[in-house]
Chain A
Amino acid sequence: MNTATATKIDRDTNAENESERSPIRLLDVSVRTRLRDASPPSDGSPIISNDEIGSESPQIDIPAPAAVIAFPSTTHPSPQFRPLQKWEGFVLEVRGNSFTARLVDQSNPGTADEEVELSLEEISPDDLALVAPGAIFYWNIGYETTSSGQRKRSSVIRLRRLPAWSAKDIETAQTRASELYKALQWE
């Protein structure tokens, strides 16, 4: 079994064995039908995988006969985001209706970090509680193309969400750190 894009299962040499083991075969017929109708044709791959390839798909190097329209039409059924600039941010301080943050430029690695002040208005209401010193966020600016084809400039800020460390996690980390410390050979 591999971890390639899910559609690869169907093409890999182990495909038969995998499909025999697949839990999908255990589903009720009505569920399978619903699933088949609801899922993309490529067995649940990301929606941009190339697995629509079939007998009519284009082949590089083959000149298309004039009478044949060789290429299928291009469609963009789902919203797309074309990034122009991307930062990872680290909240330094929250004051009033704004917060200061240090930004690391992800689009141009090596660029010096910047400090900025951002309005809390930029943050989605459900994320406001996460804005605190030390919080990490991702800030993307780019062009968003909606499913209807409308293009708009967009700024998206997402706060990082990870579960809090449990007391046991912290205890384990401390134990490991202690073991490493003891193992160090000081000269």
Chain B
Amino acid sequence: MKNPELQGINIVLVGNFNPSIFQPVWFASEDLIRRGEADAAKIEIIHPDLAIFDIEGYRIEVNQIRFSISTTQAPYFEVIRDLTLGTFRSLKHTPISMMGINFLAHFKIDSEEKWHEIGHILAPKPPWGDALDSPGLRSLTMEESKRRDGRAGHLRVKVEPSVKIIPGIYLDINDHFQKPSGSKTTGSEEIMTILDNSWEASLERSDKIIRTLLEQYL
């Protein structure tokens, strides 16, 4: 199977954050990133309500209710996982209630015919009758509402025509975890344990989903 033309991973945490803490120099002082990386970071904004900056290979965005770290470069996939684990091991009293491990990829499809075929298979047109002229698939989201691993959360897969690779398919896999209802723990430990234990399985699952959907077209 061909590799994606573009791919990325995004870890999103939902909780209560203090954006002004999240500065490149803080990460360096905690030895979570290299000093040189902190010096070279491109800061877009550091504000009590919002922090956005790029460190070599990845991007961090934090507001009061959301922490997001993302990369489009494979050598940094584990780096952003480790940085997230390290950050919230240091800030272990930060309340975090949900986490998404999101895998995104754009695949090139060899021909428009194959590209249309994927749309026909995922969203058959006969049920639409004459309700629409030339109906086409714009976006499709499927959900596994009860996780296979028994954890609280869900898994969503979104398929769209790629706007970056033409003709191509865009896949966005949202592996969503949350604290089980009734959880009495506070802080970040529970979600960080899930991140540490589920990361590999999450990426393997994403790979399997992609193969199931696209292997015969790539």
CA distance A122 to B83 in the complex (A): 22
Which of chain B's residues has its CB closest to A72's CB? B163
Binary contact readout A57-71 vs B (1 if CB under 8 angstroms, 0 otherwise): 111111100000001
Chain B interface size, as a band, is 35 or more
Chain B: residues with CB nearer than 8 A to chain A? 3, 6-10, 12-14, 30-37, 44-45, 47, 49-50, 52, 59, 61, 63-66, 68, 70-76, 78-79, 82-83, 85-86, 89-90, 98-100, 102, 104, 106, 115-116, 118-120, 125, 134-139, 156, 160-167, 170, 172, 174, 176-177
- A126 sits at the interface (CB 8 A): yes
Top 9 nearest A-B pairs by Cβ distance? A3-B100, A60-B119, A59-B136, A126-B34, A46-B70, A62-B136, A4-B174, A71-B166, A140-B75
Given A22-B63, A26-B49, A50-B172, 14 other A-B residues pairs in contact with their CB atoms under 8 A? A22-B65, A34-B44, A44-B68, A57-B138, A58-B166, A72-B166, A74-B166, A80-B72, A158-B79, A161-B31, A162-B82, A162-B89, A163-B31, A163-B86
Q: Would you call B167 and A71 a contact (CB within 8 A)?
A: yes
- A116 sits at the interface (CB 8 A): no
User: A24-B49, A74-B166 known; A81 and B75 CB under 8 Å?
Assistant: yes
Q: Would you call A46 and B10 a contact (CB within 8 A)?
A: yes
Please name all residues of chain B whose beta carbon is closer than 8 Å to the beta carbon of A57 when the two chains form the complex: 138, 161, 163
Please name all residues of chain B whose beta carbon is closer than 8 Å to the beta carbon of A38 when the two chains form the complex: 44-45, 52
- Complex partner residue of A4 from B12, B64, B79, CB under 8 angstroms: B12
Q: Would you call A39 and B12 a contact (CB within 8 A)?
A: no
CA distance A48 to B64 in the complex (A): 24
Q: How many residues of A contact B (CB 8 A)?
A: 60
CA distance A59 to B136 in the complex (A): 5
- A133 sits at the interface (CB 8 A): no
B145: min CB distance to chain A, Å: 13
Which of chain A's residues has its CB closest to B71's CB? A46
Please name all residues of chain B whose beta carbon is closer than 8 Å to the beta carbon of A75 when the two chains form the complex: 164
Q: Would you call A4 and B75 a contact (CB within 8 A)?
A: no
